[in-house]
Structure 1
């Protein structure tokens, strides 16, 4: 804690209630660029002339933008304008780049570790935490993650080492090397991102569909799915494809298998679906999508494909379910294998195959 004072005896330390108001007003990031790594700054008067910490005259600035203000590259007028319309509230998120060590595809979750393991956690067929290995010589491995709160609402993404936290209805803090998110009064995520070190997720409490993942006060990883629960005190996984895989892709057995098979065979408007290997994966009949076991797995509306839990997956392009980018518009990363990247290179007009989310 910095207890230095200015000529009026005002301590540089800003009380927590004032910091909380400043963070909320600024959208939890630098008002100019949206970076989550910030300092609490007096705009006018500056700290050396200030007699109080007045949140109406203070804001959040990252180190880079504050340096530009100090050097008068960014004017005080521009800072006031940014304070009235913060960048992160315009975008809906704050961001920063992670400089953690991903060379060995290693991560620490609670007291457990996974190393040289591509997929750390998959829930109901959706990768939640994974590493994307290098596709070219000299390229680093990159971390991807999707974090939810207790209500199953996405709160944060790591998209190939780029951290993004949604800046609405939650408190996002960056203190030293720790990033934390509080949603609904619950601390949903704490990660230590010290440069050159392995990323450490020391706190996580969230839910995807019927599956919750949390880390308790003893650093144990607790997994709950329906009525079942699993407590992992400490585990070390190395050189595996997937560390934890929970549940299957959501499906509904809506129709009699034989009747549905006949309907698909006899309906000249039914369509086949292929994966990136051009293998049959399912069918479309009307607005419904079925797997090879004749189970309902998704819906097609206006050429957009969603799962049976109404999560957008991609678009129907020919016989493929695909997406043109490696992440969705909200910043959520998509799992991309080397085979899938090659598929996109061969078929740029189609994009990445995302049928694995349904089949």
Structure 2
């Protein structure tokens, strides 16, 4: 028999189990902004059991609280969550705007300003695939991002500020302004901080594409394939930032790495080199 809980705070392992079971979004509509909802009323049971907890967005949570959403409907949605049924989250609009934009990746800053004719910048591109891109036009700041897993499968897209993610990753959380994807316990695939109206920060994680690995730390970037260490760099109004691999046409950027080895880079040596660089700063 489950022991009564002494706090309304749901233990973190139970929260994660609920997120995974519910597809990382409201079980009714798939919205990635959600609350943990006890299907068995907390005031009556005073316990935290994963099977008795679901995810509801603020809208559907208010409907349930106000008696407009029947408990039976919540239970039915919990048994067949929207995101698991669709295989991806419901698109969520990020609220970016303005004529200037800043993207920070591992302490490196990429900024651009719209001169009135529309401006595009690609802070990170691998093999002709923009992993992070910015478009500024008519007062709109449009963010574009794609995150791949180790199998070269996209697990997250931001298309012109529309956030959509797969339900395949081990864990996904959007808490406040921070979006975190985890590959497994203690292993972050990527962590973003969204700072509307015009700033995005990639705090830590890995950008992966076609055997290239770009490690992101809070203060630096490390391309493990060839031990390229980048820290404290700034690029302004460049069409490209860090360009790795082949491109269909030349793209100007602050750094281009051609002919990088794939899958065969000495990762341990790269990490040792990174440590040396940090110690020398």
Structure 1 portions without partners, runs of 5+: 1-7, 251-359
Correspondence 1:127 to 2:125 = no
Gap change, CA 1:206 and 1:243, over 3 Å in 2: closer
Secondary structure of the residue that 1:20 maps to in structure 2? helix
Alpha carbons of 1:64 and 1:132: their partners in 2 closer, same or farther (altered >3 Å)? same
Distance 1:68 1:220, change over 3 A: same
Q: Which has the higher contact order (CA 8 A, sep 6+)?
A: 2
Q: Residues of 1 paired with 2:196 and 2:172: CA distance?
A: 20
Say whether the 8 Å CA contact 1:10–1:50 is kept in structure 2. Answer: no
Post-superposition offset of 1:83:
0.2
1:105/1:118 contact within 8 Å kept: no
d(CA) in 2 for partners of 1:152 and 1:212? Answer: 11
CA deviations 1:89-130 (Å, max 9, x no partner) are 011122432224564132111211111161111111122211
Report the Cα offset of residue 31 of structure 1: 0.5
Q: CA deviation at 1:132?
A: 2.4
Q: TM-score, normalised by structure 1?
A: 0.61
User: What is the correspondence of 1:217-296 to structure 2 with a 5 Å cutoff?
Assistant: 218-225=218-225, 228-249=226-247
Say yes or no: does 1:34 pair with 2:30. Answer: yes
- The residue that corresponds to 1:58 in the other structure is 53
Change (3 A) 1:133 1:203: same
Q: Which residue of 1 aligns with 2:171?
A: 171
Report SS of the residue matched to 2:101.
coil
- Kindly report which structure 2 residues correspond to 1:1-359, keeping only aligned pairs within 5 A, or say none: 10-44=6-40, 46-94=41-89, 95-101=91-97, 103-116=99-112, 118-134=121-137, 137-138=138-139, 140-185=140-185, 186-196=187-197, 198-216=199-217, 218-225=218-225, 228-249=226-247
| Aligned CA distance change for structure 1 residues 196 and 86 (closer, same or farther; 3 Å) | same
Partner Cα distance (2:5, 2:80) in 1:
32
Kept after mapping to 2: 8 A contact 1:120/1:130:
yes
1:299-354 deviation line (CA, Å, top 9, x unaligned): xxxxxxxxxxxxxxxxxxxxxxxxxxxxxxxxxxxxxxxxxxxxxxxxxxxxxxxx
Q: What is the SS of the residue equivalent to 2:16?
A: helix
Distance between the aligned counterparts of 1:131 and 1:96, measured in 2? 18
The structural deviation recorded for 1:58 is 0.9
- Alignment: residue pair count: 236
- For 1:34 and 1:115, the matched residues in 2 are separated by 33
TM-score, structure 2 as length reference: 0.77
Q: Cα offset for 1:175?
A: 2.0
Deviation at 1:184, TM superposition (A): 4.0
